[in-house]
Amino acid sequence: MKILIVYDSYFGNTEQVAKAIGDALRSHGSVEIRRVHDVALEQLQEVDLVIVGSPTRAFRPSKAIGAFLDEIPPKGLEGVRVLAFDTRLHAAETSSRLFNVLSAVFGCAACPIGEKLKRKGGKLLAPPEGFFVTDSEGPLKDDELERAADWALRAVNALGLGNTGHYPHEATGHIPLPR
């Protein structure tokens, strides 16, 4: 299985999550981790799973992630599995009531990323997920890297491909005949 992880990151937290997910999935196939500015749209045609992650900025994905998703042509992700994640503050744990309320109303980056990936034809393997930073610039809360790795592994394992991450026909080079 070919996996492409696309992320944006200002302070390095989302990048750490992207790398933790990449490390976790390496036993399931080839993993490429790319900052959003370094991704060519053509790369999307060659992959089985695309994972997109962004810091939450003003309740949305970063501008670069938004622009990247907009550039994907309609049906550009047809037949591709997708996952979406973000990093964010834990609204209930911040001292600002206003931020808490606005977060509840306007949400975070992962959900619109997931929606856009689906709109382009992608098949979401799991609900979009958020990983928490302790402050605006980080660091990540304890155990978030482990949680991210676990989230991605569970989503991919649900495909039932076993540890190799190969579809049965990939091992032999041909599609097995139905019994």
Ligand X SMILES: Cc1cc2nc3c(=O)[nH]c(=O)nc-3n(C[C@H](O)[C@H](O)[C@H](O)COP(=O)(O)O)c2cc1C
Q: 42 to each of 10, 144, 170, how far by Cα in Å?
A: 25, 32, 22
CA distances from 39 to 1, 11, 22, 118 (A): 19, 19, 16, 19
**Residue 11 engages ligand X in binding (rule: CB under 6 A):** yes
Residues 45-64 that bind ligand X (CB under 6 A): 55-59
The answer to whether residue 24 forms part of the interface with ligand X (CB under 6 A) is no
Identify which range of 9-17, 28-36, 121-129, 155-163 contacts ligand X by CB under 6 A: 9-17
Min dist CB 129 to ligand X, Å, is 13
Provide the residue count of the chain: 179
33, 110, 133, 148: residue in contact with ligand X (rule CB under 6 A): 133
Residue 22 touching ligand X (CB under 6 A): no
Residue 169 CA to residue 175 CA, distance in Å, equals 4
Residues with Cβ < 8 Å from 155, sequence gap 6 or more? 83, 125, 126
What residue ranges bind ligand X (CB under 6 A)? Answer: 9-15, 55-59, 87-89, 103, 108, 133, 136-138
